[in-house]
Amino acid sequence: MINEARKYQAFYTKSTPIVDYMVDKLLLNPTDKIFEPCGGDGVFVKAILDLNEFANIDICELNPASIEVLQSKFSTFQNVNIRECDTLLDNELSFNSNFGGIYDKIIANPPYGAWQNLAKRAILKKMYSALYAKESYALFLFRCIELLKEEGILSFIIPDTFLNLHMHKAIRKHILTKTKIIELALFPSSFFPGVNFGYANLSIITLQKKSNQTECFSNSFNVLTNFSSVEQLASIKEYELKVYSFLQQEIFSNPDHAFLISDNSSIAKAINNAALKIGDIADCVTGFYSGDDKTFLQVNSPDLKNGKNYDLVDPNKINREYKNAINILDGFEGEKHFLPIVKGGNTKYLKPEGWFMNWSKEAVSHYKKDKKARFQNPQYYFRFGIGVPMISSSSITASLIENKLFDQSIVGIFPKDESLTFYLLAFFNSPTCNKFIRTINPSANNPANYIKKIPFISPNEEQKEIIDSTVRSILESIATQGHYNEQDENSLNKLIEKIFGF
Ligand SMILES: C[S@@+](CC[C@H](N)C(=O)[O-])C[C@H]1O[C@@H](n2cnc3c(N)ncnc32)[C@H](O)[C@@H]1O
pLDDT on residue 463:
97
Q: What is the pLDDT of residue 394?
A: 78
Determine which residue's CA is closest to atom 15 belonging to ligand 1.
8
**Is the Cβ atom of 11 under 6 angstroms away from ligand 1?**
yes
Q: Is 355 helix (H, G, I), strand (E, B) or coil?
A: strand
C-beta of residue 214 within 8 angstroms of C-beta of residue 460: no
3-state secondary structure of 12: coil
The response to whether residue 63 sits with its C-beta less than 6 Å from ligand 1 reads yes
Instruction: Determine whether 293 is exposed, middle or buried from the number of CB atoms within 10 Å of its CB (0-12, 13-18, 19+).
Output: middle
**306 three-state secondary structure:** coil
3-class secondary structure, 401? strand
One-letter amino acid of 438 = R
- Whether 203 contacts 157, CB under 8 Å: yes
DSSP readout, 58-91? EEEES-HHHHHHHHHHHTT-TTEEEEES-TTT-H
Domains detected in the chain: 4-261 (3.40.50.150), 280-500 (3.90.220)
pLDDT of residue 193: 67
How far is ligand 1, taken at its centre, from the CA of residue 8, in Å? 6
Q: What are 82's strand-pairing partners?
A: 59
Cβ–ligand 1 contact at 355 (below 6 Å): no
Three-state SS across 171-236? HHHHHHHHEEEEEEEEECHHHCCCCCCCCCCEEEEEEEECCCHHHHHCCEEEEEECCCCHHHHCCC
- Residue whose CB lies within 8 A of the most ligand 1 atoms, among 38, 71, 73, 123, for a mutation test: 38
**Ligand 1: centre distance to CA 179 (Å):** 24
Q: How many whole angstroms from 191 Cα to the centroid of ligand 1?
A: 19
Residue nearest to atom 19 of ligand 1 (CA): 86
- Identify the residue whose C-alpha is closest to ligand 1 atom 12: 38
Q: Is 377 in the pocket of ligand 1 (CB under 6 A)?
A: no
Distance 144 CA to ligand 1 centre (A): 14
* Sheet with 338-342, edge to edge strand ranges: 282-286, 410-415, 383-389, 399-406, 338-342, 355-358, 297-299, 311-312
Cα–Cα distance for residue pair 39/45, rounded to 1 Å: 8
Say whether pTM exceeds 0.75.
no
Probe residue for ligand 1, chosen from 22, 62, 127, 144 as the CB with the greatest number of ligand atoms within 8 Å: 62
Alpha-carbon distance of 357 to 294, in angstroms, equals 10
By the 8 A CB rule, do 179 and 149 touch? no
How far apart, in whole angstroms, are the C-alpha atoms of residue 118 and residue 434? Answer: 39
Which pLDDT score is estimated for 1? 37
Q: Is the CB of 260 under 6 A from ligand 1?
A: no
Report pLDDT for 160: 87
Query: Could you list the pLDDT tens digit for every one of the 502 residues in the chain?
Result: 345 555 565 566 678 899 999 999 999 999 999 999 999 999 999 999 999 999 999 999 999 999 999 999 999 999 999 999 999 999 999 999 999 999 999 999 999 876 678 888 889 989 998 888 778 899 999 999 999 999 999 999 998 889 988 889 999 999 999 999 999 999 877 777 655 454 457 899 999 999 999 999 999 999 998 888 888 998 888 888 889 999 999 999 998 999 988 766 678 778 888 899 999 999 999 999 999 999 999 999 999 989 999 999 999 999 999 988 989 999 999 999 999 999 988 999 999 999 999 999 999 999 999 999 999 999 999 999 999 999 887 789 999 999 999 999 999 999 999 999 999 999 999 999 999 998 887 777 788 989 999 999 999 999 999 999 999 999 999 999 999 999 999 999 999 999 998 8
Q: CB-based contacts of 235: which residues, under 8 Å, 6+ apart?
A: none
8 Å CB contact between 338 and 310: no
The finding on whether 66 has its CB within 6 A of some atom of ligand 1 is: yes
What pLDDT is attached to residue 264? 63
What per-residue confidence (pLDDT) applies to 392? 80
Q: Is 93 touching ligand 1 by the criterion CB < 6 Å?
A: no
Cβ(9) to ligand 1 under 6 A?
Answer: yes
Distance 40 CA to ligand 1 centre (A): 5
Sequence letter at residue 204: I
